[in-house]
Structure 1
Amino acid sequence: MAVENRHTFTVNTVSDIYQLPEGCIANILSLTSPRDTCRLSVVATIFRSASESDAVWDRFLPPDYPRPDSIGCFGSKKELYFYLCHHPLLIDGGTKSFSLEKRSGKKCYMLAARSLAIVWADTPRYWRWISLPESRFSEVAELLDVCWFDISGKINTSMLSPDTNYAAYFVYTTKSRTYGFDHQSAEGAVGISGHERKTQTVFLDPEAARRHMYQIVPRREGFFNQIADILRREANPPPLENEAQARYPQQRSDGWIEVELGEFFVKRGQDVELEMTLTEVKGGNWKSGLVVEGIEIRPKEG
């Protein structure tokens, strides 16, 4: 009898939910997440109708989000939300972009190459500024030839979503002739500016990273080629860092490449300057062939 009562109570409770006013259900949905709201919209007609409410999606939009110039063209707050997820807005004179993380509505930013501190960036012999149609920014930085590779960016944590674990990603692509990164890893770090930060091994050359990840050694025929390989390995020994902690480049859906520099948990009410760095200054070898779009800061999955 006790089992029957529990079963009856469950059925009645579920039935009662469908009797609630649409506005009440919309308020309940607004307390979940964008992903959960989209999932619940297929449960029943009343949920689908409530999930379209502006009251729900206005709750998912950050209170301080940048308003698009064409904001009046959006038929609903839901339409605006997904626009901001898929179409980053240029802000701060085109030196940054803003977007939303689709599943959670957390804020995402990308710092353009022009807003980064790049050593020797204004020396035409080492770097040059070019335009690429596939970039969201008007300019990107092309690495011509440097020995000292040093890039950093800063953002205030007050701009980010609170109680969120963020990661910073170096966004770039490679030219047909890239050298200097094939046998030498770089160091990435993320942390509070002015404080000591934990560094991690970062590989920038996609092909070299693939060989390192799977321990693929190119085969060379002939005695002299074998000697050359030995000398090359002695001149460029493998990194001593923990192999499991290394970060490898990944292809993005927008055609660019990204590699994680590190992560940082943003606490509620925190107001500090977050600094992200990428350096390769120990190898002593010259480097060329990268095109830098910027550094993206977004919530880390998982």
Structure 2
Amino acid sequence: MAARLSMLPEDCISTVLSLTSPSDASRFMLVSSSLRSAAESDIVWDRFLPSDLPRILSRSHTQLNVSSKKELFFQLCSCIPMDGGIKSFSLDKVSGRKCWILSARALSISLSNEPNHWTWTANSTSIFSEVVELKTISNMEIEGRIQTEDLSTNTTYGAYLIVKVSDHSFGLDAIPCETSISSGTCSVTNTTYLCPLDEQKQQLELLFFMNRRQMMEKRVVEGECQRPSKRGDGWMEIEIGEFFVGEKSEGVKMNLTEVKGQQLKGGLIIEGIEVRPKCEQL
């Protein structure tokens, strides 16, 4: 295929490559020197940039100094601060689809401004200037909202709560919480624990919270109750749910709630909620 393409005029090759994906175009740059120039052209990479990019970048004070559309694309694959630094925007390197992270400040967290319950602090591993750490609370409610017009159409997205667990945490793995995500008339509910499995602690707390645990786990199909998974940036993430973005603009609400909870808990550190494509969709 590469040999056949190299026989075409460069602008024709660029047009063909613009109909593929960022990952495909990147691979063609390595195939041969004759294809490299065509694969790096603005014709290709302009196709991979969001059509509403000027509107999105108007929400950021970051200056992007680039000399080509390809360079602009890959600069946008890094997190760009938005809305005064409480949100972050990026493009998926594989598909070019839009991704967002809503910081803890951009979320609605119950009693988050009460110093007896939460502490706002800096964290060297966070992309945001501050995160929030739970001191102690019984009923926890976290909500994030995003408009589908800020996302890529015809794409299935996942929403993930980004967290860490401090060394002095307590009560986080005793009782599962409920997660829900709603978009338009669609709503999906699941359950999750707030920290990884600790066998020894689980056995002790199971004695005290067996009835509550059984009540929550009956709300979903056996085996669906989740645990946080590790991320490459040193944080963990809890999948809140997924939703599909069509052509219609609408709001999406993402929630994590402990329903009728009476268990004191603490030591959960929240960075925010990430909204990203579930997989490569081309």
Q: Which amino acid aligns with 2:64?
A: I
In structure 2, how many angstroms separate the alpha carbons of the residues matched to 1:137 and 1:61? Answer: 25
TM-score, L = length of structure 1: 0.83
Q: Sequence identity of aligned pairs in percent?
A: 41
The answer to whether the 8 A contact 2:165-2:267 is kept is yes
Classify the secondary structure of the residue corresponding to 1:71: coil
User: Of 44, 54, 57, which residue of structure 1 is paired with 2:32?
Assistant: 44
The answer to whether the 8 A contact 2:174-2:205 is kept is no
User: Of 49, 66, 69, which residue of structure 1 is paired with 2:62?
Assistant: 69
The answer to whether the 8 A contact 2:62-2:81 is kept is no
Q: Which amino acid aligns with 2:250?
A: V
Structure 1 residue 187, shift from structure 2 partner: 1.1
Q: Which amino acid aligns with 1:61?
A: L
Q: Deviations over 1:47-71 (max 9, x none)?
A: 2221111221121111223447332
The answer to whether the 8 A contact 2:121-2:130 is kept is yes
In structure 2, how many angstroms separate the alpha carbons of the residues matched to 1:143 and 1:175? Answer: 10
User: Of 291, 294, 297, which residue of structure 1 is paired with 2:269?
Assistant: 291
Hey, what does 2:188 align to over in structure 1?
198
TM-score, L = length of structure 2: 0.88
Q: Deviations over 1:125-158 (max 9, x none)?
A: 1112111122111221111111110000111111
Hey, what does 2:10 align to over in structure 1?
22
User: Of 208, 219, 231, which residue of structure 2 is paired with 1:232?
Assistant: 208
In structure 2, how many angstroms separate the alpha carbons of the residues matched to 1:22 and 1:90? Answer: 36
Hey, which of these two has a bigger chunk of helix by percent? 1
Aligned Cα RMSD in Å? 2.3
User: Of 61, 72, 83, which residue of structure 1 is paired with 2:75?
Assistant: 83
Structure 1 residue 236, shift from structure 2 partner: 4.3
Hey, what does 1:223 align to over in structure 2?
none
- Which runs of 5 or more structure 2 residues have no equivalent in the other structure? none
In structure 1, how many angstroms separate the alpha carbons of the residues matched to 2:91 and 2:171? Answer: 36
Structure 1 residue 91, shift from structure 2 partner: 0.6
Q: Deviations over 1:19-38 (max 9, x none)?
A: 21111101110111111112
Structure 1 residue 17, shift from structure 2 partner: 3.1
The answer to whether the 8 A contact 2:174-2:206 is kept is no
Q: Deviations over 1:229-258 (max 9, x none)?
A: 773353443422223323321111111111
The answer to whether the 8 A contact 1:147-1:281 is kept is no
Hey, what does 2:235 align to over in structure 1?
256
Q: Which amino acid aligns with 1:112?
A: S
Larger Rg computed on CA atoms: 1
Classify the secondary structure of the residue corresponding to 1:38: helix
Hey, what does 1:35 align to over in structure 2?
23
User: Of 206, 223, 241, which residue of structure 2 is paired with 1:244?
Assistant: 223
The answer to whether the 8 A contact 2:99-2:274 is kept is yes
User: Of 150, 165, 168, which residue of structure 1 is paired with 2:156?
Assistant: 165
Hey, what does 1:279 align to over in structure 2?
257
- Which runs of 5 or more structure 1 residues have no equivalent in the other structure? 1-12, 212-216, 221-227
The answer to whether the 8 A contact 2:240-2:255 is kept is yes
Q: Which amino acid aligns with 1:243?
A: E
Segment drifting more, 118-127 vs 161-170 = 118-127
